[in-house]
């Protein structure tokens, strides 16, 4: 299957600093990627849809000025947590679908996920 690589796998930063997380599709081009956040003991919540060459679409309640998303190429999307606070500590994970893959019935293929990034803000 398609491979999505996310870096770093974990990061610790001080309050007030910014952290950048990268999400790469290694063997396919992804015009659309998704960023999710998971708090402890909770499920994954979609934060935003990253669109190559255009602005990201944010879900309700997600601050676009705090979570900057850049999708400058067909294989790379970045999420920057700006002026991080301890409450931003969470597990962040990206996903993408290979648009070239298709099933016989033209169904939507599976979403592939990165390994996730554990962010701890101290």
Partner 1 sequence: KQEVTQIPAALSVPEGENLVLNCSFTDSAIYNLQWFRQDPGKGLTSLLLIQSSQREQTSGRLNASLDKSSGRSTLYIAASQPGDSATYLCAASTDSWGKLQFGAGTQVVVTP
**Residues lying near partner 1 in the complex (CB under 8 A):** 1, 6, 32, 34, 36, 42-46, 49, 91, 93, 95-97, 103, 105, 107-116, 118
Cα dihedral sign for 31, 19, 113, 63? negative
Nearer to partner 1, 48 or 121 (CB): 48
Distance from the Cα of residue 81 to its chain's centroid: 11
Least distance to partner 1, CB of residue 91, Å: 8
**Over the Cα atoms of the chain, what is R_g?**
14
Of 53 and 103, nearer to partner 1 (C-beta) is 103
| Residue among 43 and 100 whose Cβ is closer to partner 1 | 43
Burial class (CB in 10 A: 0-12, 13-18, 19+), 90: buried
Yes or no: say if 100 and 28 are a contact pair by the CB < 8 Å rule: yes
CB of residue 38 to partner 1, shortest distance in Å: 9
Minimum CB separation from partner 1 for residue 109, in Å? 8
Comparing CB distances to partner 1, the nearer of 82 and 116 is: 116
Determine the Cα–Cα distance for residues 73 and 27; give it in Å rounded to an integer. 14
């Amino acid at each position: 299957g398609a491979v999505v690589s996310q870096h770093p796998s974990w990061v610790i930063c001080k309050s007030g600093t910014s952290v950048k997380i990268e999400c790469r599709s290694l063997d396919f081009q992804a015009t659309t990627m998704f960023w999710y956040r998971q708090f402890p003991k909770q499920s994954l919540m979609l934060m935003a849809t990253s669109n190559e060459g255009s602005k990201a679409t944010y879900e309700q309640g997600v601050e676009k000025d705090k979570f900057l998303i850049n999708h400058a190429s067909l294989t790379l999307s970045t999420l920057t947590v700006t002026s991080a606070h301890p409450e931003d500590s969470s597990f962040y994970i990206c996903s993408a679908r290979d648009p070239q893959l298709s099933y016989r019935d033209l169904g939507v293929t599976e979403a592939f996920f990165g390994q996730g990034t554990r962010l701890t803000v101290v």
